[in-house]
Structure 1
């Protein structure tokens, strides 16, 4: 694999996909946007943490991968509680980017992508505070 790029400000969680292995979602947003909170809700549904808040994201063989920097591996910030241990994956293929914001989004948006280390992945805009945010992420990754 190639050397990792500079740390990317994103929380990364992955879901096991039968026949495909672990497929990761990169959650982007400013501090306090709800990246860790949405990750916790997905983890409660069986997803696994890859990295909280910062991740090394890099391309290899035309695919995008993410892993945690060693200094934060296996830990997630639980707002109001503190940093807690979490069962984490060492590496996962990233197949979806999600931009988190409280701003309203198009009901039926045109497809968008985000390019990371030369690899284009689908981009979803989402309000992480909606009760259905986890289901929306799961529905989006199931289409890939």
Structure 2
């Protein structure tokens, strides 16, 4: 389990989202209800990510960064139709990437401009994906590991 970040809390908000940590970097999964956040979350966990929060995330500005943590008891995840499970988790992580999940079939530009979203007055890179895309997990891991060219 990764060590929680130790920094002064300034202000916080709750988001209907999910969050994972990969190699100490946080990913927020954002999108409307039913778009596939939980399914993508499960695939990221199966690929080796650590659970931060499922369904409701507390985001906090801490100095010059945005941190994510669970609102409800940490480590809980719902597997629809099977109940609530407790996993080993990371309590808090710095958000490095927001993944905007789009409904299946949404048209997207092939080479879009770089995008960011502002959370607590801090710009965070955005990756737009179809949650059901078989390459979604790989796309997220590449975005976390590499610098975008162009």
Fold similarity call, TM over 0.5 = yes
State how 1:127-142 maps to structure 2 within 5 Å: 127-142=130-145
Aligned to 1:13: 20
List per-residue Cα deviations over 1:8-38 (Å, max 9, x = no partner): 111000101xxxxx10100001111111111
State how 1:1-144 maps to structure 2 within 5 Å: 1-16=8-23, 22-69=24-71, 71-102=72-103, 103-143=106-146
Distance 2:18 2:119 in 1: 15
Secondary structure at the counterpart of residue 40 of structure 1: helix
Q: What is the TM-score normalised by the length of structure 1?
A: 0.90
Aligned to 1:19: none
Over aligned residues, Cα RMSD in angstroms? 1.3
Shift of 1:72: 3.9
Shift of 1:57: 0.5
Aligned partners of 2:10 and 2:63 also within 8 Å: no
Distance 1:59 1:131 in 2: 33
List per-residue Cα deviations over 1:44-63 (Å, max 9, x = no partner): 11110000111110111201
Which runs of 5 or more residues in structure 1 are unaligned? Answer: 17-21
Q: What is the TM-score normalised by the length of structure 2?
A: 0.86
Deviant stretches of 4+, over 4 Å: none
* Greater C-alpha radius of gyration: 2
Equivalent residues, number: 138
Which runs of 5 or more residues in structure 2 are unaligned? Answer: 1-7
Aligned partners of 1:55 and 1:67 also within 8 Å: yes
